Amino acid sequence: MKPIIRGKAYVLGDHIDTDQIIPARHLVYSLGDPEERMRYGQYALSGVPEAQAGLPDGHHPFVKEGHTSPYTVIVAGKNFGCGSSREHAPAALQIAGVEAVVAESYARIFYRNTIDGGFLVPLESTEPLCRTVRTGDPVEIDTTAGMLRVGDKTFRLKPLGAVEAILRAGDVFAYARQSGLLR
């Protein structure tokens, strides 16, 4: 986990489900194939209705061309990642270049997948930042201090709690090794 994550914010609302993060028709591509997996970056967040894509204005495609996004930090509302258990969802965001999501809360399978797979850092805000931060704003996250800075404002993030050990280890396999369950 990087101590400081900087990037342009992409802002979304509440209840962004995994069908919006990566629509099911794309789940046929191989995550292991170096070329084919790039499609997940290309189609990341392509299921978000256009009016809600990049708040507050909407109509900002997350990926404009190729398979990477100019936005590397997602700022969202409640229950981010609800729906399916598809690990393609955090993988798609990572392949598109996302390093952190800052949401008010997460659906638990998505949350767990991001941590156990080491895809990105899922942080929780203490207030609805998706109404403060605007798509395109440069943001800076201090993962050690638990702070998000945007412009001259600083916002506190919730402590990661018990899962911090897995994020620091890198993924669930590294954590299982540390726990003595894997050699």
- Beta carbon of residue 43, minimum distance to another protein (angstroms, whole number): 12
Residues that bind another protein (CB under 8 A): 15, 17, 19-20, 23-25, 27-32, 36, 47-49, 78-79, 82-88, 90, 105, 107-109, 112-113, 116-117, 162, 171-173, 175-176, 179, 181-182
List b or e across 69-84, with b for residues whose CB sees 16 or more CB atoms inside 10 angstroms: bebbbbbbbbbbbbbb
- Beta carbon of residue 91, minimum distance to another protein (angstroms, whole number): 8
CB of 139 or CB of 169, closer to another protein: 169
Q: Are 101 and 120 in contact (CB under 8 A)?
A: yes
Q: Give every CB contact of residue 10 below 8 A, 6+ residues apart in sequence.
A: 45, 54, 60, 62, 69, 71, 73, 74, 75, 135
CB of 55 or CB of 139, closer to another protein: 55
CB of 28 or CB of 64, closer to another protein: 28
